[in-house]
Structure 1
């Protein structure tokens, strides 16, 4: 990162790091407490996660620290080994295993989790944050911050704890929570415009501390309880910190239980990290992608250092990462700064930190939870169809009722079921057409025909009656599993005995024993003459299959309406397909094509397209796109045309006459042609800007950007002629009333 970019992001990163520190501080302590480990071990892990992993990680926004998902494993491991020092050795070994996983590039496992499950995980974490912070918001602090489990050790659960708080309300905590929530909700409004660059989280904490001090002078019913504050062990000196550190017992390296626990920690911590990283990447406004193998290496080194210093296992943590994103972090400086703050403040000002009420921290975490689990996310997933919504909502419920890993695995299982079910429906489909011999049942096979399609194949063939015709179209098929080949062979044998006209086309050489020997099915006359024509339909079916495979609701969404941002007027040349060369998807470009990409105000076709695009679709960008090697431009200069075509191309000849002096100075005919193509595009932009439709839109304040492009057939490159604001500023004319 260069110095200038660092300066641009430093303010946001330091502010975000401060907010993450305020949230991470009680969570580090809470996770350590829930794990049965020394309280300072949680702080050590937070410091290592922030500074060590922060420096080594490839993620710009993820924040590592002690993870709530490992509390049960850690607590059981400490009991099993009868020694915290032996457990620390397991943490070091787990870090070594993670380093090996990173070196063998095992990080790609994280890429196999579907987005609906990841979104469900984010929403579930958001809901859990809200549910877990409600008791703290009302002054009931029976459970430590960082305890994210649904079932509690005292036989309560998340919902029963909320019910319990009704009888133990603390009005002082409620008041602090109300003030904190009000500040957080109003901070981004115009009311706080002049000071909103100051971290809202810090303002909330300061107000919370001042309010708690002020409440002590009021009736006792408003006093906060002693367990309603952050609880950090207070050290009399920095030297005390070194004396209470615990270190690993390397003599236990031959203990099988130590290795078993190390493998468990390595697997669970790696999986939770990969899930968290993918989730944070989805939240990243810049949509950066984290190198997952590097992340495993960073986590492995982090766990090794944590174990050496007496800390508990660490992972990338969604709560910290989401808080970091919501606080406006730009780079990893935020995570590193939060680690530095943990180290310095715990050593130097623990007494001040212990004055922070949990109620104000609850407000910060509830806002984070709300942003993760917005109602909009649920409605968007519902509109995506049941194939997406069901795994999503199952993941949400499963994580809330169990834990993160179990919930994700349940969501994955449901997602896989939907994938398998859809595989049998979408990759093979049948249609009915008509030939000279009557009705023809047509079965179109996909690229990959596997055991998942056996049921569909059997169902299709079972419905074929004697004395009928069947066409099995394998034009796009690259692989057929043996089970499916046998079904095709059996049907061909049956067809011969039942006078079924069976034709199989398109199979590869190694499946040639199934190819039909007679005439291929045709809609009229000789099918061999129709193969190029039929290929268009085959390609269409292949395209449909590909789209439905990626999104079962693709055509439902497409049919719902169009809202393109672009109108492109291009040439009719078959070598310059606008959507293909720009990589646009259906629904993104509204287009009109004609010979030599002309804008002629007397052309009702073009003017109708322009009016609809500007007035109805409200496109924001209009592009005139010509291309080098344009046959229309060449024909205009060469002559020899007649009728409508000659009249149409006369406009190109007008462009030549206008710029004749410039063009005749160019000796190379090809370069002269290329320059005329460019001048023709610029002239069409002038004509476009001069139309009453565009003039009226611009005068009404409508956003309408106009560009000139040229496409080069020789290398496929698009070139922007940069004419939008240079040559066209003075052609806006008043619209006649």
Structure 2
């Protein structure tokens, strides 16, 4: 895993923090506007979310700020309480409630959300980002940036807004958007290799400002001016900022409605935070895990401070978190830096920020949305099976048509329905069993192991000490959901590294790849035995990876084979044919021997050749040698005896045939490489003399024959490109 020190991540974090700032700025204002709160309250919340929550949070990539999912609650609360100051008191109390939830370790609630629902949430957010930014990209949107609701305040909806913009296209905005998208798509290509270390988001914004200024200088009749910009209240300085701060009315603390609003905000904000944190953790390239109870404490303190100085409620926000990951952030410093930028720039350069066209920001957010909702995510979920795909796709649709929280709850309900249909019980219990070799921790799995068991599994495995013994009894288990399957596989991998004897027994059907055969308590863990066991561990991982993508993978593989290739290669352990060609199981039929010889008297090779040509009807036969071949070197050096010496005599025959050419090469290594190539050519000639190949060619069977050499020094395969002339000459000799 990459070492993430402050020094070697500073550049990436500054770049990512800048991009998040550019995206967060209009979102903070838009959420405040949609909530019916003062515009600067959104900025205040963004600053607190970046600096305070960013510093205290255990998440390295999540970004907190005002959340679109709370706008309806905030707007209704301000009206119900008849006072923005009374509402601020509710925000403070909500923060205190969140702190209490963190102290009582309520964060584990986040572990109960299945991965298919979380992935559905990510995909839905990506689609919403694209749909909601289309009007901004084309120059008109009656709703503020940050309004992500399907049904909007002006009685329109997401799709009708897109339809409305068709009659109000702004060519200036479209040109700026097109320029911005072109830069974002080309930035990671070789064309921009020398400058791509510079933040692409900043380049897009600068070009957008310059393009907007250039278009505004054109005559009005050309209709190329854009009028959609970031709109920040202009302050005269930090003193002006301080004078407009609002503070909570503590005199309203006895008002029951204040407490009702506080409880509502605490519940919704905590739930949205936990969902966003788990989603961002799934996007993290480093696969780090956020301590959820610490996150509730950080969020609680953030909301308390936000309410005290006039801000609206904050949560961890998936849009900003996904943007942070997409921009290349490494640690939490990027989130903190984005908060500092919000504070400094809003006070010092608001007029400059108001020159940023929304079309440029739309391009950035659409690119983030695209990365969240790639087609591969949908195909992978579909391949995982209906139990995974149905909750996933329903979550996507529900979030798009309602909001994040309602959509996730609908997805959860669908997941639970699937579980209840198949489940008869959901019990997992652990005990301690005594054996002749000592104590063994025993975990008994239930008939149905689902995401509801994630917390118990994680808790059990977290207590297993290095060097101990674990027995996982799955004799009653018929179904294991993908989330729990991954937990079991991760522990199996961890057990190898931590010298833990892990035995799983009783698994059924395609889950049996996890099962370890043999005694309950492990044998000696000496180095050689461990290396032997690693082969099985790697095999189990291979099976898990394949089943994760396609539950019927091995069923299909078992149905039969029709490989297009036969490759005759060397037995050298450094030249694995499938690995170096990237072929999948079922694509290569192979035979390997020392120095990749084709000897017509060898029954092994002839049997392989006959089956490949006559039964499998392979279309391509390849003789593959390799530079650095020990068999070739031994044949020339001599000193071998027995069967090996007899086998290598055929290589010495090749040397004698080409002795004049080889002796003229003074460099020993170059001489060896040339002999490797000549040996491959000779084996092709031998192959063509066989009755099997001759018969196939005479019957009109398509049979292409090639000669390859693999270079161990750089991993490259080289086609010797045996000419048709040589082929024809060889065939003529044989047929005569």
Q: Give the SS at the match of 2:252.
A: helix
Aligned match of 2:192: 192
Residue ranges of structure 1 left out of the alignment (5+ in a row): 428-445, 453-474, 480-537, 555-569, 591-606, 621-690, 705-737
Distance apart, 1:239 and its partner CA: 1.2
**In 2, are the aligned partners of 1:139 and 1:224 still within 8 Å (CA)?**
no
Say whether 1:222 aligns with 2:178.
Answer: no
Map 1:707-718; keep pairs closer than 5 Å: none
**In 2, are the aligned partners of 1:614 and 1:697 still within 8 Å (CA)?**
no
Say whether 1:152 aligns with 2:152.
Answer: yes
Aligned match of 2:355: 355
Map 1:285-364; keep pairs closer than 5 Å: 285-364=285-364
Say whether 1:370 aligns with 2:370.
Answer: yes
Say whether 1:614 aligns with 2:615.
Answer: no
Distance apart, 1:448 and its partner CA: 3.4
C-alpha spacing 1:451/1:269, structure 2 compared with 1 (3 Å): closer
CA distance in 2 between partners of 1:190 and 1:451 (Å): 48
CA distance in 2 between partners of 1:547 and 1:77 (Å): 54
TM-score by length of 1: 0.63
Distance apart, 1:114 and its partner CA: 0.7
C-alpha spacing 1:86/1:209, structure 2 compared with 1 (3 Å): same
C-alpha spacing 1:211/1:608, structure 2 compared with 1 (3 Å): closer
**In 2, are the aligned partners of 1:273 and 1:316 still within 8 Å (CA)?**
yes
Per-residue CA deviation, residues 118-177 of structure 1 (Å, 9 max, x unaligned), is 010000000000000000000012111000000011110000000000110100000100
Q: Give the SS at the match of 2:715.
A: coil
Aligned match of 2:183: 183
CA distance in 1 between partners of 2:31 and 2:530 (Å): 64
Per-residue CA deviation, residues 592-650 of structure 1 (Å, 9 max, x unaligned), is xxxxxxxxxxxxxxx99868981134499xxxxxxxxxxxxxxxxxxxxxxxxxxxxxx
Distance apart, 1:541 and its partner CA: 4.8
CA distance in 2 between partners of 1:84 and 1:44 (Å): 15
Aligned match of 2:422: 422
Aligned match of 2:387: 387
**In 2, are the aligned partners of 1:215 and 1:222 still within 8 Å (CA)?**
no
Residue ranges of structure 2 left out of the alignment (5+ in a row): 428-443, 451-472, 478-502, 516-525, 547-568, 583-675, 681-707, 718-736
CA distance in 2 between partners of 1:587 and 1:610 (Å): 25
CA distance in 2 between partners of 1:219 and 1:209 (Å): 18
Q: Give the SS at the match of 1:232.
A: coil
C-alpha spacing 1:572/1:4, structure 2 compared with 1 (3 Å): closer
Q: Which moved more, 1:609-618 or 1:89-98?
A: 609-618
Say whether 1:170 aligns with 2:181.
Answer: no
Q: Which moved more, 1:210-219 or 1:106-115?
A: 210-219
Aligned match of 1:91: 91
Aligned match of 1:34: 34
Distance apart, 1:355 and its partner CA: 0.6
Aligned match of 2:278: 278
Distance apart, 1:90 and its partner CA: 0.3
**In 2, are the aligned partners of 1:579 and 1:589 still within 8 Å (CA)?**
no
Aligned match of 2:107: 107
Q: Give the SS at the match of 1:59.
A: coil
**In 1, are the aligned partners of 2:23 and 2:365 still within 8 Å (CA)?**
yes
> Among 445, 448, 468, which residue is 2:446 paired with?
448
Q: Give the SS at the match of 1:542.
A: coil
Map 1:59-78; keep pairs closer than 5 Å: 59-78=59-78
Per-residue CA deviation, residues 411-437 of structure 1 (Å, 9 max, x unaligned), is 11111122223335999xxxxxxxxxx
Map 1:544-583; keep pairs closer than 5 Å: 544=509, 577-580=533-536
C-alpha spacing 1:356/1:586, structure 2 compared with 1 (3 Å): closer
**In 1, are the aligned partners of 2:475 and 2:505 still within 8 Å (CA)?**
no
**In 2, are the aligned partners of 1:391 and 1:414 still within 8 Å (CA)?**
yes
C-alpha spacing 1:388/1:612, structure 2 compared with 1 (3 Å): farther
C-alpha spacing 1:571/1:296, structure 2 compared with 1 (3 Å): closer
Q: Which moved more, 1:193-202 or 1:37-46?
A: 193-202
Aligned match of 1:712: none
CA distance in 1 between partners of 2:527 and 2:294 (Å): 48
C-alpha spacing 1:571/1:27, structure 2 compared with 1 (3 Å): closer
Distance apart, 1:211 and its partner CA: 0.9
C-alpha spacing 1:619/1:168, structure 2 compared with 1 (3 Å): closer
CA distance in 1 between partners of 2:16 and 2:383 (Å): 34
Distance apart, 1:219 and its partner CA: 3.2
TM-score by length of 2: 0.63
Aligned match of 2:507: 542
CA distance in 2 between partners of 1:575 and 1:288 (Å): 28
Distance apart, 1:581 and its partner CA: 6.1
Equivalent residue pairs, number: 504
C-alpha spacing 1:545/1:175, structure 2 compared with 1 (3 Å): closer
Q: Give the SS at the match of 2:166.
A: helix
Q: Give the SS at the match of 1:248.
A: coil
Per-residue CA deviation, residues 667-687 of structure 1 (Å, 9 max, x unaligned), is xxxxxxxxxxxxxxxxxxxxx
CA distance in 2 between partners of 1:308 and 1:280 (Å): 28
Aligned match of 1:410: 410
CA distance in 2 between partners of 1:303 and 1:372 (Å): 28
C-alpha spacing 1:589/1:303, structure 2 compared with 1 (3 Å): closer
Q: Which moved more, 1:256-265 or 1:412-421?
A: 412-421
CA distance in 2 between partners of 1:326 and 1:141 (Å): 26
CA distance in 2 between partners of 1:588 and 1:696 (Å): 33
CA distance in 1 between partners of 2:577 and 2:290 (Å): 43
Aligned match of 1:702: 715
**In 2, are the aligned partners of 1:248 and 1:310 still within 8 Å (CA)?**
yes
Per-residue CA deviation, residues 509-554 of structure 1 (Å, 9 max, x unaligned), is xxxxxxxxxxxxxxxxxxxxxxxxxxxxx98753548569x9xxx9
> Among 533, 541, 544, which residue is 1:585 paired with?
541
**In 2, are the aligned partners of 1:124 and 1:399 still within 8 Å (CA)?**
yes
Q: Which moved more, 1:154-163 or 1:414-423?
A: 414-423
C-alpha spacing 1:451/1:576, structure 2 compared with 1 (3 Å): closer
Per-residue CA deviation, residues 76-110 of structure 1 (Å, 9 max, x unaligned), is 00000000000000000000000001011111110
CA distance in 2 between partners of 1:612 and 1:340 (Å): 54
CA distance in 2 between partners of 1:258 and 1:166 (Å): 44
C-alpha spacing 1:132/1:376, structure 2 compared with 1 (3 Å): same
Q: Give the SS at the match of 2:235.
A: coil
CA distance in 2 between partners of 1:410 and 1:77 (Å): 25
C-alpha spacing 1:209/1:105, structure 2 compared with 1 (3 Å): same
Q: Give the SS at the match of 1:167.
A: coil
Aligned match of 1:559: none
CA distance in 2 between partners of 1:348 and 1:144 (Å): 24
Distance apart, 1:390 and its partner CA: 0.9
CA distance in 2 between partners of 1:37 and 1:589 (Å): 49
CA distance in 1 between partners of 2:377 and 2:578 (Å): 29
CA RMSD of aligned residues (A): 3.8
CA distance in 2 between partners of 1:254 and 1:209 (Å): 50
